[in-house]
Each structure stands twice: as structure tokens, then as C-alpha cells.
Chains A and B, each alone.
Chain A
Amino acid sequence: MRGWRALCILLPFLGILSCGKQEHQRPVGRVSDKPAYGDSFVVGSIGEPSNLIPILASDSASHDVAGQVFNGLVRYDKNLRLEGELAESWDISPDGLTITFHLRHGVTWHDGQPFTSRDVLYTYRVTVDPKTPTAYADAFKQVKRAEAPDSYTFRVTYDKPFAPALESWGMGILPAHLLEGKDITKSDLSRRPIGTGPYIFREWEPGQRIVLEANPAYFEGKPYISRYVYRIIPDNASLYLELKAGGVDMMGLSPVQYQRQTNTGEFLSRFSKYRYPSFSYVYLGYNLRHPLFSDRRVRQALTSAIDKEEIVRGVLLGMGKVAHGPYKPGTWAYNPDIHDFNYDPDRARTLLAEAGWRARNADGILMKDGKPFTFTILTNQGNDLRLRTAQVVQYRLRKIGIDVRIRVVEWASFLSHFIDKGNFEAIILGWTIGQDPDQFDIWHSSKTGPKELNFIGYKNPEVDRLLEEGRGTFDQEKRQRAYWRFQEILAIDQPYTFLYVPDALPAVSARFHGIEPAPAGIMYNFIKWYVPKEEQLY
């Protein structure tokens, strides 16, 4: 389950649970450091979970809570490598078509029933059942045959090798004995889940909180912290006040809160602040079907004219990194040798002149065939950072003679009136970066249809081939080669101007010990967190 955080698309700035390691401020001089059982951990969230059956929910709040209650067969470890969770190990056949999972013995559901391959088979079947309203059937649909030869073996066979397949088995496994033969959409489990995970569901007070209790029989040992409380506080300002008042133990800070409002000695003595790159990036995307942007040189010029460092400094207050491609710096798929176009307005002018933008009108705007170079950047409402980013871009492009207008649109009409109809010139949006580097759906030329994710209309035969190659093998070296080359091509083609990777900035109450920031963030070892006896509050 823990691998499924990548699902929280477009919420990068709340990404408490994202990953990497950078910096960590922690109060010093604490008294004791002995692990002890007890206390509650209260996490504040803007959104309320919608459904605690993992395959039925697509919001990050649901997956945050369900992730503590359910386990997948596999998960990402602290270094973002896949490891077994409910599966002790797995074998991939030499041709890459069959995966055999060897399941853990002695795992029990929270109601005491044993966990077996029947549960895995059920989870697979219900997910691909056309009557189940799930958004996650596609990876499982690639499966040609699924079978459970015995209670602790589960085998799947694919038509062709499919690398993201392994990750897809990180989906939470559901209890067959409670669901088989019933309508999953009307099941009680969506409000009162029963899983195999480290925490047992206790109660849900709608709109207020969800309380989970430590599972004494958890197969990796009983978690130290007795209760995991998920509090719903829909307003960010109230959430922040609650944190300061002690009503909440952890929240994701905004750059302003991190940099300007939480540096008092009082705050630092009560909270540890963490900082690491989140699994997301923000980009300026061009509609490649639009005549303005069909020329690659124009896109290269636009990237050259934008000072990405300035955006990171001005908009994120330094709490982020410049992006050069669609992968997170430091992960194996990220190509560190990419030569993107750095800030160089002179090169921008030269490139534009080559593309035919030479003349200028009375306002100093570049002209070609009697038309001025002017376009509109669209972005979605409710994200201040993106709006401010657009303003910095506007300022920089005006300097080289391009007139940019900014339009902020409500999310629903943004999608239906502009994106789905291809009715836009440029957009500022963000993507969550999945742990698996497969980005077929965003860049492959077969995904340019209406409502598909390659809405900018990017088509490059070599990229198509590389993407197919990358998902068609389990060999990490081959995959890395394909994705590194893919990034080189993107850096030249510039279908997007990749802008920045924002930092995740969680603050956690200092009474929690045992937090070890890693590439996977801080939450991966939550069951090992503890509060020393004399500091326990609840």
C-alpha cells in the first residue's frame, strides 16, 4: 500500500508523505531515548477520506488511512526499492511473463482469520470485475492468468513483459472471507475496514476524525504508538493554529510557514521540521498543435528566457529544486547529465530570430507575418504558487518581447473547456512523479486523444519506442538506458519547460523519536516511531 501515494495527483504541496532527504531541524537535549509503547499520533489533514477500501478510492486522504490498515504484496522500502510486504519473496520467470509470489505465513486479518492466497486472488478478481467502479483495473487487466496453486503461493502470467506490473501488486489486499459473493460497493468495509496492517480501525466520526489502534499481532511487530488519529481540519490556517496549540502532531508546511513563521525558538523546541524534495514537479506545457509552439526553436527560446532559479527563490522561497526533466533528482531513472537550456536571454533572442521572430511592433513585442507574439498561460484556481510562477514567467518573457497573459480557471472548467478540447496555448500544472518511471500515458503518441494525458499532443517516434522498451523489461539497466535517453530527447524537444520540484516540508511534534528521513520520506518506518514514557501526552 505504501507505494500508492503516487496517486495523489496534483496535490504536490501537501505532499507530507513524499520522499527524499535534505535537511532536518530537530531540537536537541532531550532527556531519554528509550523506545516505549503508548501515546497517540494525531495527523492533520485538509481532506476527509472518501472510502477506506483502497481500490475504490482515488484521493490521497483515503490512501493515507487505508495504508495503515491494509498491506500490499509488495511495497517500496526507504530507498524506494520494491520489497516484499505480504509476499515474502517473488520470482520472475526468465521470459518476464510470469511472476510467482511466495506469501508470508502466519499473517492474520484483524478479525483473526488467516491471510492466504485466496485473498490475493479475490482482490485481483474484484478489481478486474467490470462491475467494480475502480480506477485501478488497468494494470491488473494486463494479467492473462492468475492462479493460487496453494494457500501461500500466488502466480500471475502476462501476455508480454510489463515492468510496472510488479508495483501494481502494492495495492491493498482485501479480505476475501468478508467480501466474496457480496457487492463491494455496498460493503461495510468502506467505513469500517478490516485489513492485515499495523493499525486496526477503531472509529470514524464523520467530518472530524478517524481513530486507528495499534495491531498487537502485526507481523512486523506491534507498533510503538498506540493510536493513529487522522483529524480533518479543512482550512490550512486553522490547521496551522491547531499545530501550534498542540491539537495536531504533524502537518505539511507551506514555504512561507517553513521559512518565515516557524523559526521562533518556541516552535523549534516543540517541533522537528523536515525538508526533502517531494515526488512531484511543476511545468509550463505548450500546446504543440498550436502554430506558435510547433517550432522546437521557439520552445527552446522560451525555456532559455525563463530563469528557473529565480522562480525557486521567489515563489518557493528556496524550498525546492530546479527541474530539468520529468523525474525526481536522485532516483535511478533520473539522468544527472541532462543539459537543459539554462537562463540566457541572448540565446532566446537568437533562437527566436532564427524561427522568424525578428520585427518588433510599437510596444516592443516580437512580430512575424504581421502578428505579434502573444499567448495566454492557463492555470487552475486555488494554487497560489502556480499563479505566482506564471507571473514570474510573464515578466521574464516580456523582457525578450513576448506578451503573456495569465488566466486562472476553476478546475472543472479547466479540464472540460480547455484541456479536453485542446483549447489552450500554454498551461502551468504539476504532475506527481510515480515511483515506477513508466510515463507511457503522459508522453506516448497514442495517448493524445481527448481526455488522455498527452494533451499537449507530443509525438516523437523515438520517445514512443523508448517508452515501450522501458515498460517491456524487468531489467533495470535496460530500463535506465531507455529512460535516460528519453530525458535527453525531452531536454532538446522542450515540449514542457520543466520548472521546479517543490520540497515537502513536514513538521512533526518533537516528542516523536525514531524518525529517520530517507529517500522515501519519513512515514515509511512509522511503526518504529515512539514517544519516551515521560514525554507521552495521551
Chain B
Amino acid sequence: MDYSCTDLSTLNSELFMIRYLAKRLLMMIPLLVGITIITFGVIHLAPGEPVEMQIAMNPKVTAEARERLRKFYGLDRPLHVQYLTWVTRLARLDFGRSFAPDNRPVIDKVRERLPVTLSLNLIELILVFGLAVPIGVLAAVRRDTVYDKGTTLFVFLGFAVPTFWLALLLMYLFGVKLGWIPISGLHSLGYKTHGFWWQLWDLARHLVLPISVATFGGLAGLSRYMRSSMLEVIGQDYIVTARAKGLPERVVVWRHALRNALLPVITLLGLSIPGLIGGSVIFETIFAIPGMGQLFYGGVMARDYPLVMGILVIGAALTLVGNLLADLGYALADPRIRAGSEGGGSR
């Protein structure tokens, strides 16, 4: 009897999940259209045009040449026509060609830079979560001890110190003074003539500085979040019960308490998915890492509309997917939400 009852509720909740998922996915379509209209409008409101940014103040360029370029990019047509052309292409997943002089497909430019940014951010994300969670948990367990104060100071230092400043100091120390590691870029000159392991070692040497600096800067938020979430859980009755049962402190903290304290962190994880494709401009500029941040920044400065729009649309789509995944993950991890009402969807 008991079993069939469970089956029924599982079935129910599965049906609910599917319906819920379909609804959320359908909702994303008007949302995306709205986002494209707004971003398209905003980027065209910004002063300057791609053609201007390329040739302004150049004595060799006359008004006629300017018109020729504008026509080539289709900038002479009304704005709504430009939007419709762009959006119909997008519907076929064609992001168009960049307005930069190279006139390459936007998707090629993104594809070229995405792997670097993605892998860097992934490594950083893993490191941040791997470090911040234990830091936060320990800080909560040993609340108000020297360890707690010390880590608080440490993570806020990372948060407060400007990345570019720290990066330059470390580059000077390890790159110029000690000469241990390369300063910028991803590979040494002529790395292709070496074997796989040498190349990997070379890459690691180039990445150690950027990744440590980025991780150091990202610890604060998550570890504080973890700490407060853990503090809340650790005061609960069932933790007292667990301790009263005589369970070792290790098990109480890392198994019973952590599980519940991690729930909000799942939401954070989901929300950091769109962040994976975005790179920090300052950071990439300083370390000369050819990533998405630089590409996007350059695109905005040059008013390269198709490129900017392309990256924004990809980012928007990923944000929506990230939100959805966060909600789903939450529902999977927390039975209360799974079995619960419609309200379970929102964060």
C-alpha cells in the first residue's frame, strides 16, 4: 500500500516537473525577443557608428567613402529594417558578420575565444567553490575564533584589492624580479614544436598567475554566504539531536549540517552559469588573454553591432537557462519544493 502511494506521488511530481519545464521554456521565447529589442535599441542609441569609429579624423577618407562603407554594412537603412534583417537571420541561428574591417562571421570570432574564457572561468569556479565552501563552513563552526577573523580578513582583502594592481605587482615580482613565470599571454613562442606535456606545463605556467588572482578576488562573496548559511543550520534542533546521539562532530558538520547549508549555494551555482562565458576586461587586458571580455569590450568601443548583439543574445539565453537550471537543481535537492506547489519555482 505504502509503495503505490509513493509511486503515485512520484508520478505526480514528475508530471508537474514536465509541465513546469515546458511552461518555463515557452516563457523564455517572448523574454528573449524582448531582450533583443531592448539591447538593439540601446546599442543604437549610443553615440557613434561603426563606420565613424573606423575612419573618423582620417584625412584620406572622404564623405563618399564613408557612404560606401555605411551602405556595405546596411547602416543606411531604417532602424526597424536593420533589426528585422538581423532578427530573421538570428532565427536561423546566423549571428551575421562582424562590422570590423575583417568582416568575419560573429560566430567564428566567438568560437575562437570562448574555449579560453570558458575553461579559465570553469577552473576558477571550481577553485572558488572548492576553497570558499570549506572556508565558510569552518568559519561558521569556529565562529568568533582567530580562524574566523583571519579568514574574514583574508577574503575581504581579496575582494577589496583592485585586481589590476595586485596582478601588476605579482607580475613584477614573479615575472621580472624572480623570472619564474611568464608575464602574459597563453603560450611561449614556438610552443608547437614541443610535446604535449611540455605544452601543458607551458600553459600551466602562463595560467597560474591569472587564475590565482581571479580566485583570490572571488572568494569573499561565496565564503561569507556559506558561513551565514551554515550558522543558520548549525543552530537547528536536528543538529542538536545529532550531537546528542553522540555522532562525531565531523559527521555532524560535514554530513548533516552541510547538506542543508548547501541548498542556497546551488542557486548561486546556477546563477554563475552565464558568468562562465563573460570575461573580465581589465583582467584579460592585463594578462593579454584573448578571451570574451576583450572581444566584447572591443566590439562595444568600435560599435560593432552584430558582434555585441551576438554576445548579448548568447549571454541572455545562458542567463535564462542558468536560472532554470538553478530552480530545477533546487527542486531536485529539496524534497519540500519538489512535492510542493507552484511557488517552488521561484528563487
Contacts and interface: CB of A to CB of B under 8 A. Distances in A.
Interface in B241-289: 284-289
Interface string B299-326: 0010100000000000000000000000
Interface in B59-87: 59-66, 68-69, 72-73
Interface in B98-157: 100-104, 112-113
Given A207-B113, A412-B47, A415-B48, A238 B57 contact: no
Given A186-B103, A206-B113, A412-B47, A137 B303 contact: no
Nearest to A413: B47
Contact of A135 (B58, B113, B286): B58
Interface of A: 7, 9-10, 40, 42, 50-51, 56-59, 62, 130-131, 133-139, 185-186, 190-191, 205-209, 229, 231-235, 237-238, 241-242, 244-245, 247, 411-413, 415-417, 429, 431, 434, 439, 441-442, 449, 451-453, 538
4 closest A-B pairs (Cβ-Cβ)? A207-B290, A412-B48, A133-B72, A413-B47
B332 to A, nearest CB: 39
A467 B182 CA distance: 53
Contacts of A431: 57, 59
Contact of A51 (B48, B101, B113): B101
A233 B113 contact: no
The winner among A56, A59, A235 for most chain B CB atoms within 10 A is: A235
Contact of A234 (B56, B66, B69, B285): B285
Contacts of A130: 68
A327 B284 CA distance: 39
A58 B102 CA distance: 11
A235 B288 contact: yes
Contact of B184 (A138, A247, A442): A247
Contacts of A185: 72, 103
Contact of B102 (A51, A208, A247): A51
Given A9-B57, A59-B101, A233 B185 contact: yes
B199 interface: no
A205 B116 CA distance: 12
A244 B175 CA distance: 9
Contact of A434 (B49, B59, B187): B59
B292 to A, nearest CB: 10
17 contacts: A7-B58, A57-B101, A58-B61, A134-B68, A137-B65, A190-B103, A191-B102, A234-B294, A238-B183, A238-B184, A241-B168, A241-B171, A241-B172, A245-B182, A247-B184, A415-B48, A415-B56
B162 interface: no
B190 interface: yes
A439 B68 contact: no
Contact of B64 (A138, A235, A453): A138
B288 to A, nearest CB: 4
B182 A416 contact: no
Given A135-B65, A207-B112, A244-B176, 11 more contacts: A62-B101, A135-B55, A138-B60, A209-B185, A235-B288, A237-B168, A241-B175, A412-B303, A415-B48, A538-B189, A538-B190
Contacts of A429: 57
A138 B183 contact: no
Contacts of A452: 63
B232 interface: no
B60 A136 contact: yes
Nearest to A417: B47
Given A238-B287, A417-B47, A58 B55 contact: yes
B286 A235 contact: yes
A348 to B, nearest CB: 30
B189 A208 contact: no
Given A133-B68, A138-B61, A234-B294, A190 B102 contact: yes
B187 A416 contact: no
A232 B288 contact: yes
A417 B52 CA distance: 12
B183 A133 contact: no
A266 to B, nearest CB: 11
Interface of B: 46-49, 52-66, 68-69, 72-73, 100-104, 112-113, 168, 171-172, 175-176, 179, 182-187, 189-190, 284-291, 294-295, 301, 303
B183 A242 contact: yes
B58 A58 contact: yes
A235 B54 CA distance: 21
Contacts of B285: 234-235, 238
Contacts, number: 164
B113 to A, nearest CB: 7
Contacts of B288: 207-208, 231-235, 238
B101 A238 contact: no
Contacts of A59: 54, 101
Contacts of A42: 189
A208 B186 contact: yes
Contacts of A417: 47
B102 A50 contact: yes
Contact of B54 (A135, A206, A453): A135
B256 to A, nearest CB: 48
A208 B182 CA distance: 14
Given A208-B186, A231-B185, A247-B182, A58 B54 contact: yes
Given A50-B101, A441-B59, A238 B65 contact: no
Contacts of B56: 415
Contacts of B189: 40, 42, 209, 229, 538
A245 B61 CA distance: 40
B47 A135 contact: no
A114 B200 CA distance: 43
A50 B100 contact: yes
A441 B64 CA distance: 13
Nearest to B167: A238
A250 to B, nearest CB: 15
Contacts of A434: 59
A238 B58 contact: no
B226 to A, nearest CB: 34
A157 B285 CA distance: 48
Contacts of B69: 133, 135
Nearest to B54: A58
Contacts of A190: 102-103
Given A135-B69, A237-B286, A412 B102 contact: no
Contacts of B55: 58, 135
Contact of B179 (A135, A238, A245, A453): A245
Contacts of B176: 241, 244-245
B100 A135 contact: no
Contacts of B175: 241, 245
Given A247-B182, A415-B52, A538-B189, A7 B60 contact: yes
Contacts of B179: 245
A442 B53 contact: no
B47 to A, nearest CB: 4
A300 B132 CA distance: 66
Nearest to A131: B72
Contacts of B183: 238, 241-242, 245, 247
The winner among A139, A434, A453 for most chain B CB atoms within 10 A is: A453
